[in-house]
Structure 1
Amino acid sequence: MVRDSVTPRRRPHLVVAAAVCVVLLLVAAVGVRHYVVRPFRVPSASMEPALQAGDVLLVDRATRGTAARGDVVVFDGRGYFGPAEGGGRYWVKRVIAVGGDHVECCTDSGALTVDGTALEEPYLSPGTAPSEIEFDLLVPEGTMFVLGDNRDDSTDSRHLLGAPGGGMVPVERVVGRVDRLVWPPPRSGSL
């Protein structure tokens, strides 16, 4: 009697299969972080009450390099702002004005104006002045004028008006718009 001597196909070893899965997951995670969303931790109280120190945010990477009035964005401040609290290079601020906008502080009633229209700023804590620093400027094309919501405890465009760049940040430095707050769980949700 003759037996068929066909060798059965070898199955990949379990360790090799696990390694391939891990590599694929890492590639997917890097892709998601680079092209879809990226997490950031808020380093300071400059955006209170909306964002608090220690909060973890997800930034929409599809919006990198763009900014619109009212957006809360994370941007690379190197060369325009000093190191962020904790020595980081990323800052989170609210976009008040973009290229071509005329922004001024303040009206007789204390409001900021953009192109002559007073801003409604419901995100400020009650009793917080829009700014203690007066300014009247035209935002250059391709840049943005940013402020923290906690105006009494925020280093922002107002504080850098005399510095190189005049406190303006190139829009190309925007890493992305803040999409949602993910930590701590009781406050998580869209911004």
Structure 2
Amino acid sequence: MTDNSLPTRSHRLDSETKRTKRGVALFFRDLLVIFVVALLISFLIKTFLIRSFYIPSGSMETTLLVNDRIIVNQLEPKLMPIERGDVVVFRDPGGWLLPQAPIEQNPIVAGAEWVLSVVGLSAPDSNDHLIKRVIGLPGDHVVCCNALGQMSVNDVPLDEPYVTLPVGETRVSKDDFDIVVPDGSLWVMGDNRYNSKDSRYNGDTPGKGYVPEDNVVGRALVISWPLARWSWLDDYPEVFRGIPSGTD
């Protein structure tokens, strides 16, 4: 005898429960896939395109303030040439920074910091990098200071609106210098000229104060945090316009 009776209520509930569990499992599977893909994309962006850093010192004030966060374009100098006036992040050429004690963090904070660093939203190695403005390219003759307190590049005096000086001071550098930038290197200076340990004050290091172009991580594009300071970083092309190549 064939049983044509309808499914019991318990059978229907079991079926609905299975469908619900399967739906929840598929949801979390899709969520995991989306998370992994987003993490991979963010990792690739951080590796090849842009990266975040925070500012640990006042050497670039008032262009950049302590604890500002910046976005760095890593296509420079790999695919795009560095220009005078660019604000660049670079690895310590050797001897510029004092040894840093390792930061102790609990496992949860350390894990979160690692994840954020992978996607480029955190920069735990900011203290191992420096940020300055490029003044001299390979072959450039950089001299300071003339009778007006200005610096010159290849005999062209610079009018630098981004420089921060002590009240009443007109010289853009406390100390005079006269250098020619070697091939493959850069001469960099902080905008806070009387409070920046830059190329001028690292002559006793292995690199003699010059930054190898290979050490440049990229050019700073924008202040991303705090939101009240969000702005594009200017490389002031008008300041350096008309300067001949150092090899001319």
Which of residues 148, 152, 160 is equivalent to 1:109?
148
Secondary structure of 2:75's counterpart equals: helix
Which of residues 169, 183, 189 is equivalent to 1:141?
183
Matched, 1:22 2:35: yes
Using the size of structure 1 for normalisation, the TM-score is 0.88
The answer to which structure has the higher strand fraction is 1
1:46–1:155 CA contact under 8 A, matched in 2: yes
Which of residues 84, 89, 96 is equivalent to 1:74?
89
Distance 2:211 2:194 in 1: 21
Which blocks of at least 5 consecutive residues in structure 2 are unaligned?
A: 3-21, 103-126, 234-248
Using the size of structure 2 for normalisation, the TM-score is 0.68
Distance 2:173 2:75 in 1: 32
CA gap of 1:18–1:120, structure 2 versus 1, over 3 A, is same
Instruction: Note the alpha carbon deviations across 1:58-86, whole angstroms, 9 max, x for none.
Output: 00111134422110000111425224888
2:93–2:212 CA contact under 8 A, matched in 1: no
CA gap of 1:110–1:86, structure 2 versus 1, over 3 A, is farther
Which blocks of at least 5 consecutive residues in structure 1 are unaligned?
A: 2-9
One-letter amino acid matched to 1:48: E
Secondary structure of 2:222's counterpart equals: strand
Distance 1:42 1:86 in 2: 18
Give the CA RMSD over aligned residues: 2.2
Within a 5 Å distance, the mapping from 1:22-171 to structure 2 comes to 22-65=35-78, 66-79=81-94, 81-83=96-98, 88-125=127-164, 127=169, 129-171=171-213
- How far the C-alpha of 1:172 sits from its partner, in A, is 1.2
Secondary structure of 2:70's counterpart equals: strand
**Rg: which structure is higher?**
2
| Identical residues among aligned pairs (%) | 37
Distance 2:135 2:214 in 1: 16
1:80–1:169 CA contact under 8 A, matched in 2: no
CA gap of 1:78–1:136, structure 2 versus 1, over 3 A, is closer
Instruction: Note the alpha carbon deviations across 1:34-66, whole angstroms, 9 max, x for none.
Output: 122111001111000110001010001111344
1:43–1:86 CA contact under 8 A, matched in 2: no
Instruction: Note the alpha carbon deviations across 1:2-59, whole angstroms, 9 max, x for none.
Output: xxxxxxxx98722222211111011011011112211100111100011000101000
Instruction: Note the alpha carbon deviations across 1:96-120, whole angstroms, 9 max, x for none.
Output: 1010000111111111111111111
How many residues align? The count is 183
- How far the C-alpha of 1:125 sits from its partner, in A, is 2.6
Structure 1 window deviating more from structure 2 (126-135 vs 180-189): it is 126-135
One-letter amino acid matched to 2:54: R
